[in-house]
Amino acid sequence: MSPTPHPATAATPPLHTSHLLRRTTINRAFAIIYASAILALLYYHLLTLRHSTTFISSATTVILLVADIVLAFMWTTTTSFRLFPTDRKVFPENLGKVIEKKDFPALDIFICTADPYKEPPMNVVNTALSLMAYDYPPEKISVYVSDDGGSELTLFAFFEAAKFAKIWLPFCRDNNITDRCPEAFFRSNGITFSDGAKIKSMYEKMRIKVESVVERGNINPEYITNEEEQIAFNKWSKGFSRHEHPAVIQVLLESRQDRDIEEHPMPNLIYVSREKNKASPHNFKAGALNTLLRVSAIMTNAPIVLTQDCDMYSNDPKTPQQMLCFYADESIRHNLGYIQFPQRFHGINKADIYSSEYKRLYVINPGGMDGLKGPCYVGSGCFFVRRVFFGGPGSPELPEARELWPDHVVKKPIKSQEILDLAHGVAGSNYENNSSWGSKMGFRYGSLSEDFFTGLHQHCRGWKSLFFHPRRPAFLGDLPITLFDALTQNRRWCIGLLEVVFSKYNPLTFGSRFMGPLMGLAYAHNAFWPIWSIPIYIYSFIPQLALLNRVSVFPKVTDYWFLLYVFLFLGANIQDCLDFMLAQGTFQQWWNDQRMWFIRGLSSYIFGFIEFSIKRLGIASKGFHVTNKVVDNEQSKRYDNGVFEFRVPSPMFVPLATVAIVNLIAFVFGILQILKGGNVNGLFGQMFLACFGLVNSWPIYKAMVWRTDNGRMHRSINVTSTLFGLTLCMLVKLVPNA
């Protein structure tokens, strides 16, 4: 379809265009055909149930019907992304005709970290430096670093970063550097530029100093070089801990005063650690973001807020100009809440064995939602209009303090005592008591997936969002390189999503009422992730165990109904593969993505549901789990070589190994029946599923049996899963065939 221009005014060239993807019509036609096939399948199940003569056959049919209903529901939610898939282009070269550079809006950037040992401070420093070095007026940039671990080690790293920034920013500007993350730059081409070797040497000295401090766990007194640093670190007194400490707000750079080595103004850089005490709820990351929202309002109150993960550095210094192509368009600004850029990752191995890129979540599905009311917020790489946090477009919900209103103009220096006192006040642990923060204002509380929950609320209040996927990734982040870390991260997301599902803000009911049915279904697709485990468990065990008793649960190959199963299986997988490959994926990556869907369904989805249920019953759970970003050299080598990591003896691995054993036994049994000349016409579907499970479980077999490296399956997991698998198979053989 032809692009639709969106002019800033009638007299100027467009700042951006959008168009539906060419496959939209095909998607819609296929949706009608596939939906008809699903209805036919449900009819087949009802016919089978009607003619069932035994309890076993009736129960099996009902179980498979439940699995297919869940699959049909999830396919329906997926289809909502395929009806209006949208692509956008921007023309930053036209910005000068709409807005002068001196009139660019100010930008507040939020970076959250929580643990210097799981999120190394040098990673956070690299992220901050890359964002400070944006090709944007530096006096209009303010970077706020939230340290929810209250660590002096992180503050020390940023004192060092502030010094290095005065050299790094002009170096990037003078040489027109594109990779403005120091670590990424020196890894690729650091010494080919003038002064490159000198700058790299300075960076290495800073890195070694920071990492030695983190390794020691304390700061060498000789590293504290001035009175300002001494006063700051004196706040870490004897009673100071990550769970009990006063608010710490340290202005490391102030644009009005600090200059780089070429006398250009520096961006503002502020360290924030909110007050913590065990008597007050802190609401995890959402609470930290709301603290930054208030502190930044007191100090700079920029109209645009960028939220960024601590390991997600800027990969393109011109990203703010791309964002401005939408923000500067007055025809859409009245209800534009945020512009979401996709999360992309560096260091992914060629096959992406853990499907860590989450291509559907971060690229494909947001593009589909962009044709509706816009993508959901995914936690990083998102430029918010500040007023989106305070009610709807026409119904503002403002805080009592006038200084926190989104239109408040800050006139005093951020280092003035009055500003600092106010900032410390709004960072207090009791500030939100009896207020609307987290419910009607700011980032939403009530879910570990605060990003998903916040975006849902904002869309329901009438805001729209946009998705822009630039050719050069705007941001690049770290990713889990072990299976345990990947599944633990996914399990945490599942818990947060279930908290939304079992609240009054369920996307299917609350969401559809305020956003429309398609947006409700799109949000429901993510929210109902954990129910994937229902059909995955059913189809991983029931057909295979029935095969051991020579009981058919699918139509015979010669039956016309068998063709329906073939169409449903191939149709869904071929369309999914095409979507994946059209999003610059490879067939091998798609195959591994399918394998990880299977693995998550057997592990993180079900374990997330169990942990959520325990939490709902009032039993204490572990709460928020920070994803480990520390890289082990041996693990890194195995990941680079495409080898799965099973070293941790996690209970999540038991179902994976059990399914692998059951599928192997069922497949071998089926082969033996064929060799004996048995009639397997009615068992072909089950043989195929057992073979499919066997192929998907190949890395598990290798880890259980013949790998000798440290990443092999733990012996306790091998023994437990083998006992479970053999016990299941023997029990099934005791069930009568009738």
Q: Which segments are annotated as binding site?
A: 118-119, 148, 285, 309
Q: How far is residue 52 from each of residues 417, 550, 706, 738, measured CA to CA in Å?
A: 80, 17, 45, 11
Q: Within 13 A of 16's CA, how many CA atoms are on the CB side?
A: 25
| Known binding-site residue numbers for Mn(2+) | 285, 309
Which residue is catalytic, options 115, 451, 576, 593?
451
**CA pair distance 340, 366, nearest whole angstrom:** 9
**CA pair distance 220, 16, nearest whole angstrom:** 52
**CA pair distance 340, 317, nearest whole angstrom:** 16
Q: How far apart are the first and last CA of the chain?
A: 58
Let me know: does 388 contact 465? Beta carbons within 8 Å.
no
What stretch of H or E contains 17? strand 14-20
148 belongs to the catalytic site: yes
Let me know: does 683 contact 552? Beta carbons within 8 Å.
yes
| Known binding-site residue numbers for UDP-alpha-D-glucose | 118-119, 148
DSSP symbol at 391: B
**CA pair distance 289, 467, nearest whole angstrom:** 22
Which residue in 565, 476, 431 sits closest to 181, CA to CA? 476
Structure tokens at 68: 């297919």
Order of strands across the sheet with 14-20?
4-7, 14-20, 86-90
Which residue in 409, 143, 380 sits closest to 272, CA to CA? 143
What stretch of H or E contains 188? helix 182-188
**CA pair distance 540, 536, nearest whole angstrom:** 6
Q: Which residues pair with 251 in a beta bridge?
A: 270
**CA pair distance 254, 302, nearest whole angstrom:** 15
Let me know: does 148 contact 112? Beta carbons within 8 Å.
yes
Q: How far is residue 155 from each of residues 160, 226, 581, 678, measured CA to CA in Å?
A: 9, 14, 43, 72
DSSP symbol at 344: E
Cβ partners under 8 Å of residue 637, min gap 6? none
485 belongs to the catalytic site: no
Q: Within 13 A of 149's CA, how many CA atoms are on the CB side?
A: 18
Structure tokens at 383: 């430029």
Which residue is catalytic, options 68, 148, 352, 576?
148
The 10 Å Cβ neighbour count of residue 245 is 19
Q: Which residues pair with 584 in a beta bridge?
A: none
Question: Angle formed by the axes of helices 684-696 and 653-675, to 10°?
Answer: 140
What stretch of H or E contains 327? helix 319-327
**CA pair distance 606, 534, nearest whole angstrom:** 9
So which residues are the catalytic ones? Answer: 148, 451
